[in-house]
Amino acid sequence: MVMEDSKLSEFVLKISALWNDQKRREVLYLEALKKDSMGPLRKMLTQGHFSALLFQKEIHWIYDYFKCFLTDKDLVNSAESNSDTIADLHALEEKEQVAGYLKRTEGRILQSYRSLYKYLERDPETRRVVDEHLERISEFYEILSRQEIVKRNELNRTFVA
């Protein structure tokens, strides 16, 4: 992949941020699994957690391939932002609320992935990985959207009856 230095530097920063997003995603899914009210969502939450771990590993490989060893740092997890994320999730009780929170997180991550496309025109392997991640996260987004809607439909039926 032939990329000018400034574009390469931007790409490396975006990949680093995406790795941090996936780390937060991992923590969120793990914390959601600890909640008692997640019964029907457990399988999807487990899959989300494992996909976040796998995606972190693949993003790390991409980062290591493109980073400049002289100027770019190693990827580091920000424990502070993860504790804020966990606190937000702990405040939610119902599975529909958790699904909505996770859906918004997945939406932000999807936007981060889409912002990478302008850098990937000459690297088909990295683009393939990004496409696979986008496809899988989009599936999680759709599942979470349906779970969030379940509560609204129940409320609508209650008010109509």
Rounded distance, CA 123 to CA 125, Å? Answer: 6
* CATH code of residue 58: 1.20.1260.10
Query: Helix, strand, coil proportions of the chain in percent (round to 5)?
Result: 80, 0, 20
Q: How many CA atoms lie within 13 A of 17 on its CB side?
A: 14
3 state SS of 39:
helix
Residue span of the structural domain in which 69 resides: 5-160
DSSP assignments along 51-95, one per residue: HHHHHHHHHHHHHHHHS-TTTPPPP---HHHHHHHHHHHHT--SH
Task: Note the pLDDT of residue 70.
Answer: 65
Q: How many domains does the chain have?
A: 1
Task: Note the pLDDT of residue 82.
Answer: 65
How far is the CA of 24 from the CAs of 6, 53, 89, 103, in angstroms?
27, 10, 12, 13
The tens place of each residue's pLDDT in the chain, 161 residues long, gives: 456 777 888 888 899 999 999 999 999 999 999 988 888 889 999 999 999 999 999 999 998 888 876 667 777 765 555 677 778 888 887 888 899 999 999 999 999 999 998 888 878 899 999 999 999 999 999 999 998 876 655 555 544 55
Query: Residue written as tokens 């990827």?
Result: 75
The predicted model scores a pTM of 0.82
CA 66 to chain centre: 21
